[in-house]
C-alpha cells in the first residue's frame, strides 16, 4: 500500500485554527448627513455596496474613504466611526445593528440613499489568533475597482449580498459561512498586496523556499526538526536559511516550530478528547513533564487549565 504524504498549506492551517465564525446584521441605507459609532472589542466587517463612507479608527490621525466595492475588516476589534463626510463631528447613531434583527434594513435620513452598507461581526479564537492579529493592520481594506469588488472577492460577495437579506430557509447559515470565506479571501488578498519585507510572519508564505520549510513544519509538527533539516528542505544552506526565515517570519525556525506546537496543543486540550500525556506525544514531546513545562512557559497557564478554557473575540 502506498501512503500519500500530507501536503500542508500553512496559511490554511492557521486560518482554520482561528475558528472564524461570521454573523451578518444587515444592510443600512444612508442619506447624508449621518454618522455611526462602533465600540471597540468586537471584530467587524463592512461592505460598501453603493456610494462611499469615511472610516475613522480609534487613535487614527485621519479618516480613510471607503467606496463602493470595498470590503473593510477590523479583526482586532478596533473602535471606529463611519460618517458621510471626512470632517463629520456628530454621531447620529451608536451601533444601530446591535439591536437590529438579522437581515433587517436600517435607514438613516429621508430620500434616496446615497450610501448602502452591509455590516456584520465575526469571532476569532483568542489564543490561536494572536500571531495573525499582530500581523494584520487594525483596518484591513480590500479595495474594489470602479464601484465593483476585486476580482478575487466578486463572486463570493455577490452570493453573500443575496443571502444576507434573504428569507429563504437556511439563509442565516449560508450567509455566515460566506462571511467566513470572505474573511479568508480578504486576508489572502491583503497578504498578496504587501511588500515581502513588511508582512511579518506571513511574509514567509510568499517566499517559495521559506514557505517550503513552513509546510514541512506544519505537515509534521511532532518531528524533532533541526535547522539543518529544514534548510535542506528549503534548498538552502543552514546560516542563510536561518537568517532569511527569521527576517521574514519574525522568529527563528525552531521557535516557530515550538509556537505552532503550542497552538496545536491548545486546540487538542480545549477539545477535551485527549489527556495531557496524549497531547504531548502528538505535538512531539517525549514526556508529559517536558511538555507541561514548555506549555506553561509559552501559554502562561497549565495544560490542565487550558483544557477547560474558552476564549474568543467577536460577535455578541
DSSP calls for 212-276: HHHHHHHH-TTS---HHHHHHHHTS-HHHHHHHHHHHHSS-HHHHHHHHHHHHHHHHHHHTSS-H
Between these two residues, 226 and 15, which has the higher pLDDT value? 226
pLDDT at 106 over 60: yes
Residue identified by cell 444612508 is: 30
- What pTM was computed for the model? 0.74
Residues 289 and 277: their CA atoms lie apart, in Å, by: 9
Can you give the pLDDT at residue 270?
Answer: 81
Can you give the pLDDT at residue 294?
Answer: 92
For residue 227, name the pLDDT band (cuts at 50, 70, 90).
Answer: very high
Mean pLDDT of 203-208: 80
3-state secondary structure of 142: strand
* Pairing state between β 140-142 and 52-57: unpaired
Geometric angle at alpha carbon 34, from 149 and 59, rounded to 5°? 75
Per-residue DSSP letters for 151-175? HHHHHHHHHHHHHHT--STTHHHHH
Can you give the pLDDT at residue 107?
Answer: 77
Q: Note the pLDDT tens digit of each residue in 75-103.
A: 888 999 998 888 765 555 556 555 555 55
Cell of 154: 466578486
Can you give the pLDDT at residue 3?
Answer: 39
Geometric angle at alpha carbon 146, from 144 and 148, rounded to 5°? 50
- CB half-sphere exposure, 265, CA atoms < 13 A: 34
Can you give the pLDDT at residue 252?
Answer: 94
Cell of 142: 480590500
pLDDT at 222 over 80: yes
pLDDT at 104 over 60: yes
Q: What is the mean pLDDT of the chain?
A: 80
Mean pLDDT of 105-126: 78
Residues 260 and 230: their CA atoms lie apart, in Å, by: 15
Residues 98 and 112: their CA atoms lie apart, in Å, by: 24
Mean pLDDT of 199-221: 83
Can you give the pLDDT at residue 89?
Answer: 59
Which domains does the chain show, CATH number per domain?
10-193 (2.60.120.10), 200-312 (1.10.10.60)
Could you tell me if 161 and 118 are in contact, meaning their C-beta atoms sit under 8 angstroms apart?
yes
* Pairing state between β 312-313 and 115-125: antiparallel
For the beta carbon of residue 97, count every other beta carbon within 10 angstroms: 23
Residues above pLDDT 90, as percent of the chain: 26
Can you give the pLDDT at residue 164?
Answer: 66
Can you give the pLDDT at residue 229?
Answer: 97
Mean pLDDT of 212-238: 94
| CA 300 to each of CA 44, 131, 151, 188, 304: distance values in angstroms, whole numbers, following the listed order | 28, 16, 42, 30, 12
Can you give the pLDDT at residue 92?
Answer: 56
Can you give the pLDDT at residue 315?
Answer: 46
113-117, 130-134, 137-141, 156-160: which range is least confident on average? 130-134
Residues 235 and 233: their CA atoms lie apart, in Å, by: 5
Mean pLDDT of 160-177: 72
| CA 183 to each of CA 179, 187, 309: distance values in angstroms, whole numbers, following the listed order | 6, 6, 25
Can you give the pLDDT at residue 2?
Answer: 41
- In eight-state DSSP terms, residue 20 is -
Amino acid at each position: 500500500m502506498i501512503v500519500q504524504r500530507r501536503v500542508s498549506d500553512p496559511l490554511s492551517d492557521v486560518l482554520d485554527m482561528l475558528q472564524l465564525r461570521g454573523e451578518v446584521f444587515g444592510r443600512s441605507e444612508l442619506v447624508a448627513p449621518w454618522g455611526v459609532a462602533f465600540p471597540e472589542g468586537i471584530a467587524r466587517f463592512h461592505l460598501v455596496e453603493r456610494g462611499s463612507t469615511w472610516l475613522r479608527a480609534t487613535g487614527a490621525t485621519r479618516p480613510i474613504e471607503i467606496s463602493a466595492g470595498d470590503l473593510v475588516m477590523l479583526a482586532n476589534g478596533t473602535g471606529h466611526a463611519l460618517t458621510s463626510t471626512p470632517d463629520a463631528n456628530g454621531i447620529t447613531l451608536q451601533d444601530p445593528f446591535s439591536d437590529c434583527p438579522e437581515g433587517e434594513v436600517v435607514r438613516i435620513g429621508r430620500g434616496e440613499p446615497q450610501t448602502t452598507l452591509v455590516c456584520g461581526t465575526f469571532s476569532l479564537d483568542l489564543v490561536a489568533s494572536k500571531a495573525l492579529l499582530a500581523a494584520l493592520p487594525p483596518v484591513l481594506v480590500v479595495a474594489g475597482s470602479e464601484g465593483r469588488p476585486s476580482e478575487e472577492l466578486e463572486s463570493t460577495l455577490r452570493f453573500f449580498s443575496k443571502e444576507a437579506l434573504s428569507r429563504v430557509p437556511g439563509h442565516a447559515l449560508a450567509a455566515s459561512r460566506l462571511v467566513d470565506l470572505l474573511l479568508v479571501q480578504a486576508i489572502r488578498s491583503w497578504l498578496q498586496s504587501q511588500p515581502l519585507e513588511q508582512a511579518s510572519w506571513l511574509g514567509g508564505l510568499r517566499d517559495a523556499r521559506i514557505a517550503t520549510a513552513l509546510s514541512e513544519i506544519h505537515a509534521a509538527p511532532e518531528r524533532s526538526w533541526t535547522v539543518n533539516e529544514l534548510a535542506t528542505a528549503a534548498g538552502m544552506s543552514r546560516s542563510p536559511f536561518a537568517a532569511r526565515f527569521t527576517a521574514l517570519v519574525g522568529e527563528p525556525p525552531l521557535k516557530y516550530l515550538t509556537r505552532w506546537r503550542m497552538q496545536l496543543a491548545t486546540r487538542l486540550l480545549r477539545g477535551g478528547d485527549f489527556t495531557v500525556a496524549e497531547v504531548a506525544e502528538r505535538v512531539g514531546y517525549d514526556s508529559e513533564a517536558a511538555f507541561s513545562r514548555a506549555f506553561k512557559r509559552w501559554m502562561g497557564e497549565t495544560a490542565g487549565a487550558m483544557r477547560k478554557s474558552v476564549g474568543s473575540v467577536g460577535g455578541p
